[in-house]
Amino acid sequence: MPRRRPGRPRINDSSDRYGFTMGEELMTRFDAIREKKEAELGIQLSRTQMLAMLVKKEEEEQ
């Protein structure tokens, strides 16, 4: 793992953190949705925040 520079956040998007592996195509699609939502809201979202928004939306629809 590359060394983190001072002042940079610790980011761990590895599969061991999430407990599953996400395919490259799925990650690309997910990031595209996240970037679209960021532009819509005018704020920067992390992958975790975006995933939480999707889960909340799914729960509301049920």
Say if 5 falls within a structural domain. no
Give the DSSP H or E segment for 50.
Answer: helix 47-61
Say if 37 falls within a structural domain. yes
Q: Which domain holds residue 47?
A: 23-61
Say if 31 falls within a structural domain. yes
Say if 6 falls within a structural domain. no
- Return the pLDDT at 51: 84
Give dist(CA 22, CA 45) in Å, integer: 19
Residues in Cβ contact with 45 at an 8 Å cutoff, skipping those fewer than 6 apart: 34, 37, 38, 53
The count of structural domains within the chain is 1
- Return the pLDDT at 54: 84
**Within the chain, which residues score under 50 in pLDDT?**
none
Q: What is the pTM of this model?
A: 0.48
Say if 16 falls within a structural domain. no
